Amino acid sequence: MEKYFCGATERDDKIMFVGSNQYDLFYGGGDGYLWREHFFHRPTMSEIKKVIRDHIDAMTEEKIVEGGTYEDQPIWLGKDTQMNLLHYANMSEEERELYLTFPMEYKINEDENGDAVNITLDSYEDLKALASAASCWVVQCIAEGRAEKENVDWSKFQL
């Protein structure tokens, strides 16, 4: 879906016939923007649901990756980072002694020049705190995405 500025101050979910067997699906609003999907055919409800659910999934993933913070700093939580933090949090004491040394510099993001933004983790407890914060953020974002999917009023998209 493409972001579309419309100045909407309220949510405005709908599908509109725009001519010559073309339809525009609008989703969201309230912040001045809607998300729009253009169809060159009369879409079925299954197609509409797939577009909206896929959009919610994409927005949830973007929020997970780019919206988290740790100690008031933005943290980038791509899939690899999430998996690494989960792995670190679940290491045995033997693995920690073999592979981890503290203090540790841990890259949490990049600045506008592409240079690493690091934080210093002084102990395994600090690393676990980072992993826990990241995990809580992911769970929160997934729950919000799921709630948004459950609250879509599909009747607004009936043709």
Binned at pLDDT 50, 70 and 90, residue 132 comes out as very high
pLDDT at position 123, please? 95
pLDDT at position 30, please? 79
pLDDT at position 96, please? 92
What would the mean pLDDT of 49-64 be, rounded to a whole number? 97
pLDDT at position 44, please? 97
Using the predicted structure, report yes or no on whether residue 29 has a pLDDT greater than 90.
no
Q: Could you tell me which residue, 18 or 32, shows the higher pLDDT?
A: 18
CA distance 17 to 149: 24
152, amino acid identity:
V
